Structure 1
Amino acid sequence: MQPLTRPRIVAAGLRVLEREGVTGLSMRKLAGELGKAPAAVYKHVSDKRELMSLLFDEVSRRIELPDPGDDPRTAIVEAAQSAHRVLEEHGWIATEMLDGPLLGATSMRLSEFILDALIRAGLTDAQAARLHIAIWDYLVGHLVAARAGAPGLLPRPTASADGTEDYPTVRRVAPLMAGMTDQERFAAGLRVLLDGAFAEVSAPREAEAAVGEREAPGGREARGTQGELGTQDVPG
Structure 2
Amino acid sequence: MQPLTRPHIVAAGLRLLEREGAAGLSMRKLAGELGKAPAAVYKHVSDKRELMSLLFDEVSRRIELPDSGDDPRTAVVEAAQSAHRVLEQHGWIATEMLDGRLLGATSLRLSEFILDALVRNGMSDVQAARLHVAIWEYLVGHLVTARAGAPGLTPCPAAGEDYPTVRRVAPLVAGMSDQERFAAGLRALLDGACAEWRVPGESPGRPEPQDPA
Tell me, what secondary structure is at the counterpart of 1:107?
Answer: helix
Give the Cα–Cα distance (whole angstroms) in 2 for the partners of residues 126 and 27 of structure 1.
Answer: 40
Q: Give the whole-Å Cα distance in 1 for the aligned partners of 2:19 and 2:147.
A: 17
Q: How does 1:155-174 map to 2 (within 5 A)?
A: 155-156=154-155, 158=157, 160=159, 165-174=161-170
TM superposition shift of 1:40 = 1.2
* Structure 2 match to 1:218: none
Match of 2:191 in 1: 195
Instruction: Report what 2:211 is aligned to.
Output: none
- The match for 1:148 is 148
Deviation at 1:101, TM superposition (A): 3.8
After superposition, the CA RMSD in angstroms is 1.7
Higher relative contact order (CA 8 A, sep 6+): 2
Q: How does the TM-score come out when normalised to structure 1?
A: 0.81
Amino acid at match of 1:197: A
Residue 158 of structure 1: CA displacement? 4.2
Instruction: Identify, as 1 or 2, the structure richer in helix.
Output: 1
CA distance in 1, matches of 2:107, 2:173: 32
Q: Is 1:178 matched up with 2:174? A: yes
CA distance in structure 1 between the aligned counterparts of 2:12 and 2:169, rounded to whole angstroms: 47
- C-alpha contact (below 8 Å) 1:57/1:107 kept by paired residues: yes
The unaligned stretches of length 5 or more in structure 2 are 201-213
**CA distances 1:31-90 after superposition (whole Å, capped 9, x unpaired):** 111111111111111111110110000001111111112111011011101100110000
> How far did residue 166 of structure 1 move?
3.6
Q: What SS does the aligned partner of 1:201 have? A: coil
Looking at structure 1, the residues matched to 190 and 121 of structure 2 have their Cα atoms a distance apart, in angstroms, of 11
**Equivalent in the alignment of 2:24:** 24
Gap runs ≥5 in structure 1: 206-236
**In the TM superposition, what is the alpha-carbon distance from 1:157 to its structure 2 partner?**
6.3
**Residue in structure 2 matched with residue 213 of structure 1 by the alignment:** none
Asked which structure has the greater CA Rg, the reply is 1
Counterpart contact for 1:156–1:174, Cα < 8 Å = yes
Give runs of aligned pairs for residues 19-98 of structure 1, distance below 5 A.
Answer: 19-98=19-98
Inter-partner Cα distance in structure 2 for 1:150 and 1:159 = 18
Q: Which residue of 2 aligns with 1:2?
A: 2
Matched with 2:120 is 120
What is the TM-score with the length of structure 2 in the denominator? 0.89
In structure 1, distance between residues paired with 2:143 and 2:82: 13
Q: How many residues align?
A: 201
Q: Compute the displacement of 1:109 (Å).
A: 1.0
* Separation (CA, whole Å) in 2 of partners of 1:72 and 1:158: 44
